[in-house]
Amino acid sequence: MSLSGKITNGGFEQIILPSCGYPRNEILAGPAFGVDVSLISLPGGLGLAMTSDPLSLIPSLGLQESAWLSVHLMANDMATTGFAPMYAQMVLNLPPTLTEQDFTTYWNYIHQYCNAIGVAITGGHTGSIEGQNSTIAGGGTMVLTAPVNEILLSKKAEAGNVIIVTKDCALSSAAILTMSFPETVKNKLGKEVYEQGCELFYQTSSLPEALIAAATNHSQEITAMHDVTEGGVLGAIYEMAVASGNGVLVDNELLPMNNTQQSICKIFNIDPRFCIGAGSMIIAAKKEHGLHVVQRLHQNGIKATIVGEFTEKSHGYKLIENSTETDMPYYNKDPYWAAFFTAYKNEWR
Contact criterion met (CB below 8 Å) for 178 and 194: yes
Contact criterion met (CB below 8 Å) for 181 and 349: yes
Boundary-marking domain end, from 133, 150, 167: 150
| The predicted structure's pLDDT at residue 58 | 86
| The predicted structure's pLDDT at residue 333 | 86
pLDDT at 273 over 80: yes
Which residue range(s) make up the domain with 102?
A: 9-150
| The predicted structure's pLDDT at residue 269 | 95
| The predicted structure's pLDDT at residue 327 | 96
pLDDT at 2 over 70: no
Q: Are residues 200 and 333 in the same domain?
A: yes
| The predicted structure's pLDDT at residue 150 | 93
Q: Considering its fold, how many domains does the chain have in total?
A: 2
Q: Are residues 324 and 225 in the same domain?
A: yes
**3 lies in some domain:** no
**106 lies in some domain:** yes
Q: How many helices (H) and strands (E) does the chain have?
A: 11, 13
**Residue 152 in 3-state DSSP?**
coil
Boundary-marking domain end, from 87, 120, 150: 150
Q: In this prediction, what percent of the chain has a pLDDT beyond 70? A: 97
Q: Of the given ranges (21-25, 147-151, 190-194, 214-218), which has the lowest mean pLDDT?
A: 214-218
Taking the C-alpha atoms of residue 84 and residue 28, their distance in angstroms, rounded to an integer, is 19
Q: Are residues 321 and 173 in the same domain?
A: yes
pLDDT at 139 over 70: yes
Helices (H), 200-327: 207-213, 232-244, 259-267, 290-299
**279 lies in some domain:** yes
Q: Are residues 146 and 165 in the same domain?
A: no
| The predicted structure's pLDDT at residue 17 | 87
CATH number assigned to the domain comprising residue 316? 3.90.650.10
Contact criterion met (CB below 8 Å) for 228 and 167: no
Write the DSSP symbol of residue 288.
G
**4 lies in some domain:** no
pLDDT at 151 over 80: yes
Residue type, 95: P
Contact criterion met (CB below 8 Å) for 181 and 343: yes
Q: Are residues 139 and 160 in the same domain?
A: no
Boundary-marking domain end, from 97, 117, 150: 150
CATH number assigned to the domain comprising residue 55? 3.30.1330.10
Q: Are residues 113 and 167 in the same domain?
A: no
Instruction: Count other C-beta atoms under 10 Å from residue 331's C-beta.
Output: 16
The more confident residue out of 337 and 90 is 90
Q: Are residues 127 and 181 in the same domain?
A: no
The helix-helix angle for 259-267 and 182-189 (nearest 10°) equals 110
**277 lies in some domain:** yes
**Residue 160 in 3-state DSSP?**
coil
pLDDT at 215 over 60: yes
Residue type, 138: G
| The predicted structure's pLDDT at residue 217 | 54
**Residue 64 in 3-state DSSP?**
helix
pLDDT at 1 over 60: no
**234 lies in some domain:** yes
First-last CA distance in the chain: 30
Instruction: Count other C-beta atoms under 10 Å from residue 70's C-beta.
Output: 29
Q: Are residues 143 and 176 in the same domain?
A: no
pLDDT per position as a tens digit, 224-270: 999 999 999 999 999 999 999 999 999 999 999 999 999 999 999 99
pLDDT at 207 over 90: yes
Taking the C-alpha atoms of residue 313 and residue 85, their distance in angstroms, rounded to an integer, is 32
The band of 218, judged by pLDDT with boundaries at 50, 70 and 90, is: low
pLDDT at 11 over 90: no
Q: Are residues 337 and 214 in the same domain?
A: yes
Secondary structure (H, E, C), 110-141? HHHHHHHCCCEEEEEEEEECCCCCCCEEEEEE
| The predicted structure's pLDDT at residue 176 | 94
Q: In this prediction, what percent of the chain has a pLDDT beyond 90? A: 83
pLDDT per position as a tens digit, 165-187: 999 999 999 999 999 999 999 99
Cα angle 252, 255, 261; round to 5: 120
Q: Are residues 319 and 221 in the same domain?
A: yes
**60 lies in some domain:** yes
Q: Are residues 204 and 55 in the same domain?
A: no
Q: What is the largest CA-CA distance in the chain?
A: 60
**340 lies in some domain:** yes
Q: Are residues 174 and 112 in the same domain?
A: no
pLDDT per position as a tens digit, 290-348: 999 999 999 999 999 999 999 999 999 999 999 999 999 998 889 998 999 899 898 89
Taking the C-alpha atoms of residue 26 and residue 40, their distance in angstroms, rounded to an integer, is 6
pLDDT per position as a tens digit, 32-73: 888 899 999 999 999 999 999 999 988 888 999 999 999 999
| The predicted structure's pLDDT at residue 216 | 62
Q: Residue 310 forms beta bridges with which residues?
A: 248
Nearest CA to 56 among 143, 176, 167, 168?
Answer: 176
How much is the average pLDDT of 122-134? Answer: 87
